[in-house]
Structure 1
Amino acid sequence: MLKIENIDQEDHVILQLSGEIDASNSVDLDAAIQDILEKGTKRILVDGSQLEYISSAGLGVFMSYLEEFQEKDIQIVIFGLLEKVHQVFVILGLDKLITIKSTEQDALEAML
């Protein structure tokens, strides 16, 4: 099961993910990112500290937005991933395309 929460901050949004992202619920992640983009937010922090699993479908959602983020000058930083989830990003090379940090503080500093 996946739980998604958008937490609006002063100059960024925290997209808090908990549970598992797979083919059956990756559309929910897609909808959450779409909502953030419609608000015109330029800085997105993804809190992955409670994310237990992500499938290729979930990773595909992030990949599908990379070009749009670049075109619209939107910063996205993922933080707090469990080691097994982080490894999935590394294996597919997404850690080269999306900034991944250990803590929320590190993620905020990466956006400065």
Structure 2
Amino acid sequence: MKYSYKIENQVFILSFSGDLIGENDGAELIEVIQENIEKEINLCAIDISDLRYINSSGIGVLITILTKFRNRGGEVVLVNPGEQVKKLLIITKLNNIFQIVDSIEEAKKSLISS
């Protein structure tokens, strides 16, 4: 798994590529997120359009991210999942927990207006 992030208009934009399998990067990523939440960044868009595969540990990473933001009164939106990932989100019913949108711009509008 590779990830990158940036902050635009007080929205933490996280991009994943490859396979989200909750490997060693998971703890490092959660630490980065926690640091930004402590800086009063409480909105997050996660671009998963380049994610090929996600396993149960990867789902755990997404839920941990969601929990951290919601515990601070924030929100998380998933952006543009591929067909395989979208099927997994439906099977696990995570599509009922996460808002899913088609673009970063749509995510920012949704997050800022909420």
Please confirm whether the aligned pair reaches a TM-score higher than 0.5, indicating the same fold: yes
Q: TM-score, normalised by structure 1?
A: 0.84
- Count of residues in Structure 1 that have an aligned counterpart in Structure 2: 111
Q: CA separation of 1:4/1:87 partners in 2, compared to 1, >3 Å: closer, same or farther?
A: same
1:5-64, Cα deviation, whole Å (9 max, x unpaired)? 111112211101111111434434434433432332111111111111111101112223
**Could you state the TM-score of these two structures normalised by the residue count of structure 2?**
0.82
Does 2:78 correspond to 1:92? Answer: no
**Where does residue 22 of structure 1 map in the other structure?**
21
Deviations 1:62-108 (A, max 9, x none): 22344443331111101011111111111111111111112223222
Gap regions ≥5 residues in structure 1: none
Checking the alignment, whether the CA contact within 8 Å between 2:44 and 2:75 is kept in structure 1 is: yes
Q: Does 1:104 align with 2:104?
A: yes
Structure 1 pair 95–13 and aligned structure 2 pair: CA distance change class (3 A): same
* Counterpart residue type for residue 39 of structure 1: K
Structure 2: tracts of 5 or more residues without a match = none
> Which consecutive segments of 4 or more residues in structure 1 shift more than 4 A?
none
2:30·2:65 contact (CA, 8 Å) conserved in 1?
no
What is the aligned partner in structure 2 of residue 9 from structure 1?
8
